[in-house]
Amino acid sequence: MDDGSVNQNDPLTAGLAKPRAHDPYRADIVIPCYQEEEALPHTVPVLLDFFGKLVADPGNRLAGFRVILVDDGSSDRTWPIISAMAERHPEIEGVKLSRNFGHQSAMLAGLMIADADVVITMDADLQDDIAAVADMIAAYEDGSHLALGVRNDRSSDSTKKEGSAVAYYRLMRLMGANIVENHADFRLMSRTALDALKQYREVNVFLRGLIPTLGFPVKLVYFKRNPRVAGEVKYTFRKLVRLALDGITSFSVMPLRMIAFLGALIFAGTMIVTLLFLYLYFAERGEVVPGWASTVLPMLFLGGVQLLSIGILGEYVGMVYLETKRRPRFIVEETTSRALAENAALEARRSMQG
């Protein structure tokens, strides 16, 4: 698995990868945690063991690691567990957000606060196959600034979720957002790529959509998604729908264009029907008593189209509204280390400067 090669046939990486300086480097592993009291005791030992071995392995240049657990405003024992683990293991650090900001914002908080040479993001439930990290590290050493985990089967998802995921990726493509299919938020980013991401100041973040706009040599790393180690799924249906909508509105103005297109289509249709009626009335002297259907149906139809259009417009206006407020993307309440607190303060200052 860890053969250290970048696939030159991969359209995203072909001709781009160059070996970088042969320096040892450190990794930060960012993990958003929301109500993960059950998963963390399983996950953390696995992480410590895996990265410990990776650091000891002379086959790579990874020289050290730190796990940053971001508590996304959990109301269970997640934070006490994180702080206890941070006390026990020097490699574990915690960042506590002041409330539940959502998966994307929690991950972003970790990314903005991390300061290692490479930063790896993954979920708290070990669904992202940790073995794939070895491939990501290899890709980085081979010159990729981004290594994206792509799941090559969805057997652990329900068929409903699988179907909606496929439809969603297709829709996003259609809308012109260049997202990598089946890539969620399991990825490695180099310092350089992360610094580029820091230049994006939007409040409504949809990381997997932003990442392809960064550029840089990219490598796709394939993995099989595992079942959750413990606990329930933290992504409620509502959160998923919100994520999907944010993904579309933050990346595409296609729905706005479709409104105009729909309007034009309906206008043309109405013209044709009107001409037809005129023809029937004057030329054929037909029985064109304007009945109930021809009055009420167009009214309902137009009413529907208008409401739909206003709704789509509203989604975008709402986005503009939220963005212009420039509210903080996350708020840190507490960290387990002074260095992380300083990074968090630095990021807060940066965000105030816009």
Q: Give the strand pairing for 92-97 and 332-335.
A: antiparallel
Buried b / exposed e over 163-188, threshold 16 CB at 10 Å, is eebeebbeebeebebebbebbbbbbb
- Residue 146's DSSP bridge partners are 189, 218
Q: Which helix (H) or strand (E) holds 188?
A: strand 183-190
Q: Choosing among Mg ion, ligand UDP, none, which partner's interface includes residue 36 (Cβ < 5 to 8 Å by kind)?
A: ligand UDP
Residue 102 interacting with ligand UDP (CB under 6 A) = yes
Contact of residue 72 among Mg ion, ligand UDP, none (CB under 5-8 Å per partner type):
ligand UDP
The amino acid occupying position 12 is L
Distance CA 259, CA 322 (A): 22
Amino acid letter, 67: V
35, 43, 74, 127: which one binds Mg ion (CB under 5 A): 127
Which residue, 106 or 120, is less far from ligand UDP as judged by CB?
A: 106
Return all residues near 66 (Cβ < 8 A) that are at least 6 apart.
26, 27, 28, 29, 91, 92, 93, 116
Q: Is the CB of 33 or the CB of 147 nearer to ligand UDP?
A: 33
Q: Which partner from the list ligand UDP, Mg ion, none does 145 bind, CB cut-off 5 to 8 Å by kind?
A: none
Between CA 130 and CA 177 the distance in angstroms is 28
Local structure of residue 282 (DSSP, 8 states): I
Contact with ligand UDP (CB under 6 A) among 103, 145, 183, 329:
103
Parallel, antiparallel, or unpaired for β 25-33 and 118-121?
parallel
Nearer to ligand UDP, 123 or 246 (CB): 123
Nearest Cα to 102, choosing from 247, 211, 201, 317? Answer: 247
What is the pairing mode between strands 62-71 and 92-97? parallel
Does the footprint of ligand UDP cover residue 32 (CB under 6 A)?
Answer: yes
Can you tell me whether residue 328 is helix, strand or coil?
coil
The only residue of 48, 55, 214, 233 in contact with ligand UDP, by rule CB under 6 A:
233
Choose the one of Mg ion, ligand UDP, none that binds residue 34, judging by a C-beta under 5 to 8 angstroms depending on kind. Answer: ligand UDP
Here's the x/- map for ligand UDP, 62-91, by CB under 6 A: it reads as: ----------x-------------------
Q: Does 235 bind ligand UDP (CB under 6 A)?
A: yes
Binds ligand UDP (CB under 6 A): choice among 2, 61, 100, 309: 100
Size, binding site for ligand UDP by CB under 6 A: 16
Gap between the Cα atoms of 299 and 304, Å rounded: 8
- Residue 69 contact partner, candidates Mg ion, ligand UDP, none, CB within 5 to 8 A by sort of partner: none
Tally DSSP H helices, then E strands, for the chain. 11, 8
Q: Which of 28, 36, 117, 246 binds ligand UDP (CB under 6 A)?
A: 36
Q: How far apart are CA 65 and CA 152, in angstroms?
A: 27
Report the C-alpha gap between 170 and 325 in whole angstroms: 32
Cβ proximity to ligand UDP, 100 vs 309, nearer residue:
100
Binding mask 122-151 for ligand UDP (x = CB under 6 A): -xxx-x------------------------
Closest CB 273 distance from Mg ion, rounded Å: 52
Site for Mg ion in 64-123 (CB under 5 A): 123
Total of chain residues touching Mg ion, rule CB under 5 A: 3
Q: Which is nearer to Mg ion, 28 or 123 (CB)?
A: 123
Decide which of ligand UDP, Mg ion, none touches 351; Cβ closer than 5 to 8 Å per partner kind: none
In the beta sheet, which residues pair with residue 148? 187, 220
CB atoms inside a 10 Å sphere around CB 14: 12
Contact range with ligand UDP by CB under 6 A, out of 96-104, 200-208, 271-279, 290-298: 96-104
Binding site for ligand UDP (CB under 6 A): 32-34, 36, 72, 100, 102-103, 106, 123-125, 127, 233-235
